[in-house]
Chain A
Amino acid sequence: MAAPEGVRLGAEVRLQRLTKLFGPVVAVSDVSMTIPAGSFFTLLGPSGSGKTTTLMMVAGFVHPSRGAIAIDGVDVAALPPQKRDLGMVFQSYAVFPHLTVAENIAFPLQVRKVSAADIRHRVGEALELVRLTGYERRLPRQLSGGEQQRVALARALVFRPRVLLMDEPLGALDRKLRAHMQLELKRIQRHLHVTVIYVTHDQEEALTMSDRVAVMRGGRTEQVGTPAELYESPVSPFVADFVGESNFLDGVIVSTSAEGRAVVRVDGGFEVAGVSREPLHVGQRVVAAVRPEKIVPYEERAAELNRAKGVVDQVVYAGDATRYSVALGATAGTLTVKVQNRLGSRALATGDVVELAWDAGDTRLFARDR
Chain B
Amino acid sequence: MKAEEIAVVVAPTEAADRHDTRRYLLLLLPALLTLAAFFVYPLLGILLRSVYKSGYTLESYRQVVSTSVYLMVIGLTFRTAAMVTLVALALGYPLAYVLATVRPRLGRVLVVIVVLPFLTSIIVRTYAWMVLLGRNGVVNQYLVAIGLTDAPLRLLYNQAGVVVGMTYVLLPFMVLTLASVMRGIDPSLVRAAHSLGASRWQAFRRVFLPLSAPGIAGGTLLVFILSLGFFITPALMGGPSDVMIAMLIEREVEFTLNWSFASTLAVILLVLTLIGFVAYYRLMRLERLFEGLG
Contact = CB atoms under 8 A, between A and B. Distances in A.
Contact of A98 (B191, B202, B211): B211
B189 A107 contact: no
Given A82-B199, A155-B196, A156-B196, A61 B191 contact: yes
For chain A, give the interface size range: 20 to 34
Interface string A40-51: 000000000000
B230 to A, nearest CB: 34
B207 interface: yes
Contacts of A112: 197
Interface string A156-184: 10010000010000000000000000000
Contacts of A60: 194
A142 to B, nearest CB: 12
Contact of B202 (A81, A111, A156): A111
Given A94-B186, A98-B292, A82 B194 contact: yes
A82 B198 contact: yes
Interface in B157-198: 186, 188-189, 191-198
A156 B198 CA distance: 13
B174 to A, nearest CB: 22
B118 to A, nearest CB: 33
Contacts of B294: 141
A141 B288 CA distance: 13
B134 to A, nearest CB: 47
Contacts of A222: none
Nearest to B203: A82
A94 B197 contact: no
B288 to A, nearest CB: 10
Contact of B193 (A80, A85, A107, A152): A107
B42 interface: no
A88 interface: yes
B154 interface: no
Contact of B195 (A86, A96, A97, A98): A86
Nearest to B293: A97
B206 interface: yes
Nearest to A81: B194
B186 A107 contact: no
Nearest to B211: A98
Given A92-B186, A141-B294, A82 B197 contact: yes
A264 B180 CA distance: 64
A124 interface: no
B211 A81 contact: no
A145 interface: no
B203 to A, nearest CB: 8
Nearest to A61: B191
Interface in A110-168: 110-112, 141, 152, 155-156, 159, 165
B188 to A, nearest CB: 4
A97 B211 contact: yes
B210 interface: yes
A326 interface: no
A296 B195 CA distance: 51
A88 B210 contact: no
B210 A107 contact: no
B292 A159 contact: no
A94 B191 contact: yes
B277 to A, nearest CB: 24
Contact of A94 (B188, B202, B292): B188
A155 B193 CA distance: 10
Interface string A292-315: 000000000000000000000000
A87 interface: yes
A165 B195 CA distance: 10
Contact of A111 (B188, B191, B196, B210): B196
Contacts of A85: 197
A89 B147 CA distance: 56
Contacts of A165: 195
A232 to B, nearest CB: 36
Contacts of A91: 188
A111 B192 contact: no
A108 interface: yes
Contacts of A367: none
A15 interface: no
A231 interface: no
Nearest to B198: A111
Given A98-B292, A111-B202, A141-B294, A80 B186 contact: no
B196 to A, nearest CB: 4
With a 10 A CB-CB cut-off, give which of B196, B206, B210 has the most chain A CB atoms: B196
A96 B203 CA distance: 11
Contacts of B189: 94, 96-97
Contacts of A98: 210-211, 292
Contacts of B192: 88, 90, 94, 96, 152
Given A82-B203, A85-B197, 18 more contacts: A61-B191, A80-B194, A81-B191, A81-B194, A82-B194, A82-B199, A86-B195, A88-B195, A90-B191, A91-B188, A92-B186, A94-B188, A94-B191, A94-B192, A96-B189, A111-B202, A152-B192, A159-B196
25 contacts: A59-B195, A61-B191, A81-B191, A82-B196, A82-B197, A82-B199, A82-B203, A85-B197, A87-B196, A90-B188, A96-B192, A96-B193, A97-B189, A98-B210, A107-B193, A107-B196, A107-B198, A108-B196, A111-B197, A111-B202, A111-B206, A112-B197, A152-B192, A159-B196, A159-B197
Interface of A: 59-61, 80-82, 85-88, 90-92, 94, 96-98, 107-108, 110-112, 141, 152, 155-156, 159, 165
In the A-B complex, list the 7 residue pairs whose CB atoms are closest, starting with the nearest: A94-B192, A108-B196, A88-B195, A81-B194, A94-B188, A111-B198, A82-B194
